Structure 1
Amino acid sequence: MRLWLTESERRPDPAPVRTDARKALVAGTAAWLVALVAAVVTRDWLASIGFGWFVATAAIGVALGVVGLAVVQLRRRRRREPAD
């Protein structure tokens, strides 16, 4: 097996595949939301064992998931709109 090919030996790059990232983002955001609820319920215990930071981490995970969903939705809308 060779690790380096010349340009003439390379096959062309495949076409990019269209994917729907919304499902993955919804699943990840839901998982962070469950973690946030669990962390808020057990906040005192988490703080006593040195994991009080997990509440903020889970909240940031939910916020980033919501931002990611908004970005993906905006990109989908732009792709559908006809160019002027």
Structure 2
Amino acid sequence: MTEETPGAAAENPQPPELPAALLDPRPVIVAIACGWLLALVLAFTVESLHTWRPITIAGLGVGVLGTSIFLWQRHAVRRGSRGAQHGLT
């Protein structure tokens, strides 16, 4: 009753695998952290950008927190924890 028809595969094509370079989150994390660091340096060296100071400090803080969670989850995947996310290597 559940015979596969030749057209069934054509109706549900699978997307191709992404290249490994697009799956690596480290370049994105480094680029964004450098951007926040540059903004922080500018906020403390250029007097007219003094209003940026709390925002850049908060941005770096959230970035450190997010990166810490990512590294913690990746460590859990590598040690084989059952509750860890899948796909982090």
TM over 0.5: yes
- C-alpha contact 1:21 1:72 (8 A) present in aligned 2: no
For structure 1, the 5+ residue unaligned runs are 1-7
Q: How does 1:34-49 map to 2 (within 5 A)?
A: 34-43=38-47, 45-46=48-49
Distance 1:73 1:41, change over 3 A: same
**Could you tell me the percent identity over the aligned residues?**
27
Q: Are positions 1:33 and 2:31 aligned together? A: no
4+ aligned runs moved over 6 Å, structure 1: none
> How far apart are 1:71 and its partner, in Å?
1.5
> How far apart are 1:22 and its partner, in Å?
2.4
Q: Are positions 1:70 and 2:68 aligned together? A: yes
- Length, aligned pairs only: 71
- C-alpha contact 2:37 2:60 (8 A) present in aligned 1: yes
For structure 2, the 5+ residue unaligned runs are 1-7, 83-89
Deviations 1:2-60 (A, max 9, x none): xxxxxx412135567762212311221122111101111123x235xxxx2x2222112
State the superposition RMSD in angstroms: 2.5
| Secondary structure of 1:30 counterpart | helix
TM (normalized to structure 1)? Answer: 0.64
Between Structure 1 and Structure 2, the one with more helix by share is 2
Distance 1:17 1:60, change over 3 A: farther
Give the Cα–Cα distance (whole angstroms) in 2 for the partners of residues 66 and 82 of structure 1: 24
Give the Cα–Cα distance (whole angstroms) in 2 for the partners of residues 65 and 25 of structure 1: 8
